[in-house]
Amino acid sequence: GEQISISLLAMALGETGCPAISLTGWQAGFHTDRAYTRARIKNLDTERIESELSKNRVVVVAGFQGLNRYDDITTLGRGGSDTSAVAIAAALHADLCQIYTDVDGVYSADPRIVPTAKKLDEITYDEMLELASMGAQVLMNRSVEMAKKYRVNLEVVSSFHRVPGTIIKEDTKMEKLLITGVARDKDVARIALTGIVDRPGQAYKIFSRLAQKKINVDLIIQSIGHEDVKDISFTVTKENLQPAIQTLEENKEYIGFTDIKTDENIVKVSVVGAGVASNAGVASKVFEALYDANINIHMISTSEIKISVLLDAVDGDRAMRVIHDKFDFTM
């Protein structure tokens, strides 16, 4: 699909009198590791791209692909096209990398769920990274990570409307919004281990075994020990639920627990913003909004720029709306 698209676009540009050339990922100099279908970019040799640009040609590059050290073609996986664009911008020291998509910018929440969502003029890398990792699908977090690492200014703009988009950069306005946005992640499953022997090293035993299987863990809660046992609950992606259960069952005797309970009918709602840590009362507003709406919270996680709550899946959309309505998104 990428290769057909770049060829057609180069042909279309040529017919309008604009010299253009299409390059596959490997022709453009993308070198990756060997993780097929989810390869990471190791380096980008821009010699061919710069040579074509010096001839005043528009260079149309197929993202999402590259070559590994054995000259085998690899693909980058989810977010690969956006990541390729950022990589080129970084390698060429571009002033701006524009990502054209089906929305006209980054919103304070998904406008399909929250009608009062506001388009943001700008947002920091860290805030965008949190929103992307918490379920916002405007940009994939891999592209934002690379933009932050190489200080590439990003702009999310609409493919259909000529309107200003959202700039993603290191610093934004001096007077920041209290929070930047509310995101929802439905790709969440909860695992609870009960009757764990209450002694040092139990958490290490659990999460080291999961790490060996490349299973990422998100929210974690450990109960206070009672009668020499305790419980630990944590979340994984739904894709990793069964592999996690299998890994834990295989190590049941080593870890020392009595039972595994799981729940896939849940959702994670997150509030993101630089004001979360620096302003008193942000958490209180979030919990007040959920209390007023009679929405029960299962788990809570906080960081300097986010508050995440785990809720029943049926409450996800409503939670986004009531939380969003608690905050002012106008400057």
Q: pLDDT of 1-27, one tens digit each?
A: 889 999 999 999 999 999 999 999 999
Distance of CA 173 to the CA centre of its chain: 23
When mean pLDDT is compared over 107-121, 172-186, 220-234, 312-326, the highest value belongs to: 312-326
Quote the pLDDT of residue 276.
Answer: 81
How are beta strands 166-169 and 220-222 bridged, if at all? unpaired
Residue-level pLDDT at 129:
87
Query: Cα torsion for 127, 131, 133, 139, to the nearest 10°?
Result: -100
- The answer to whether residues 69 and 32 touch, using CB atoms and an 8 Å cutoff, is no
218 CB neighbour count, 10 Å cutoff: 18
**Band (99; pLDDT cuts 50, 70, 90):** very high
The whole-angstrom separation of Cα 177 and Cα 327 is 9
pLDDT tens track for 121-179: 989 998 888 888 766 677 888 899 999 999 999 999 999 989 999 999 887 654 556 78
pLDDT in tens, 52-76: 999 999 999 999 999 999 999 999 9
Q: Given a cut of 60, is residue 181 above it in pLDDT? A: yes
Q: d(Cα 112, Cα 104) in Å, to the nearest integer?
A: 14
* Mean pLDDT score, 232-260: 94
